[in-house]
Structure 1
């Protein structure tokens, strides 16, 4: 009978998630994990499997937090398009919390696909979940007259999904908050019905998190 584990597996998984998030999969060595997690190799293998299995669990944890954020940020009590806009701002701000590394999911897709089946499965599930959540919100926007008649809620959701994923890539090269705000303002103006109020926000509302003491904390979504 093996000895009981004396560490908090969820806390260890959070630290692994942040390490992979900052460095990427290939650049993170087992020595890095041993040092960051403060566990021996045998303990890591026993609790989480090999490096790839640990990475998949860390990515799954991040995507689970994104799903929780979607569920908590969208409801039927306020106008739909402003809620979606605020959600995008939250996603972009939370993904700046890990030393400016961007979105862990987007980074993993760029680094490991199409060759990693486990990561591909997780990424597809996460994207489908986000698309469904956006679609439900945009169906409500259609019913309340906020969404233009020129696009279906499903197509609008796919446009927004591509927008937020693309912005996570672009902002790694250009973090100008004015350009980021202008891009979001433009896409929401395209989706807004002419009779609905404007859905815009100043650059300050979506600027990267400024507190360096929070740079290593798990993001709300992530």
Structure 2
């Protein structure tokens, strides 16, 4: 008869997220997981499978949280562009928990694609969900007269999605939050209807 588990699987996955986030998949050894999670190898294998299976579960949990944030942050009350700008700022703030490690999802895509089918599937689902959410919000902005007439909602959503992924890469080199904020502000100034001309960046 199998012994009941005496640990919280969700708490263990949260620790695994932070470890893989800091070190990356390849650089994380099984001995690192044993030390960080406080579990023996046998317990890890029994509960989560091998290192790759544990990584996929950790990434799935991370992306599910992002999906929940998207679902709860965008609604029909208040200015659509302000809501979207606030959401993207919150995503950047959330990912700052690991300092200069960047974004766990972006890091995983850069390290493991195109050869890891499991990570590719998770990344495609997450990016598709984000783009659909951004598009719906920009469509509402267009209906309510907030969006520039020169911006197509779907193209604007793709722009924001690409921007936020790029900002996460740049933050690994230059973690100054002022630069990330300036990038978002510039993008939303371009999206907004009747927005004032952008001031040239200080040198």
Match of residue 181 from structure 2: 181
TM-score (norm 1): 0.86
Higher helix share: 2
2:161 matched residue in structure 1: 161
Question: 3-state DSSP class of the match of 2:5?
Answer: coil
Aligned: 1:72 with 2:59: no
Residues 22 and 101 of structure 2 are in contact (CA less than 8 Å); yes or no, is this contact kept in structure 1? yes
Q: Determine whether 1:116 maps to 2:116.
A: yes
Please show how residues 21-60 of structure 1 align to structure 2 within 5 Å.
21-60=21-60
Using the TM superposition, give the Cα deviation of residue 163 of structure 1 relative to its aligned residue in structure 2, in angstroms. 0.5
Q: Does 1:63 align with 2:63?
A: yes
170-179 vs 184-193, greater mean Cα deviation: 170-179
Match of 2:131 in 1: 131
The Cα of 1:179 is off from its aligned counterpart by: 2.5
Return the alpha-carbon distance in structure 2 between the equivalents of residues 74 and 151 of structure 1: 20
The answer on whether the counterparts of 2:88 and 2:164 sit within 8 Å (CA) in structure 1 is yes
Structural RMSD (CA): 1.6
How many pairs align? Answer: 198
Tell me how far apart the structure 2 counterparts of residues 24 and 67 of structure 1 sit (CA, whole Å): 22
Q: Distance in 1 between matches of 2:44 and 2:162?
A: 36
- TM-superposed CA distance for 1:176, in Å, is 2.8
Runs of 5+ in structure 2 lacking a partner?
Answer: 198-203
The Cα of 1:124 is off from its aligned counterpart by 0.4
Shift of 1:71: 1.1
Give the deviation of 1:151 after TM superposition.
2.0
Superposition deviation, residue 197 in structure 1: 8.5
How far apart in 2 are the matches of 1:154 and 1:181?
23
Alignment of 1:136-215 (within 5 A): 136-194=136-194
Q: Aligned equivalents of 2:76 and 2:53: distance in 1?
A: 38
Where does the alignment leave 5 or more consecutive residues of structure 1 unmatched?
199-222
Partner in structure 2 of residue 203 of structure 1 = none
**Equivalents in 1 of 2:192, 2:186: separation in Å?**
10
Scaled by the length of structure 2, the TM-score of the pair is: 0.93
Deviations 1:38-82 (Å, cap 9, x if unpaired)?
Answer: 111111011000000000000000000000111111111110111
Matched with 1:216 is: none
Say which SS state the counterpart of residue 45 (structure 1) adopts: helix
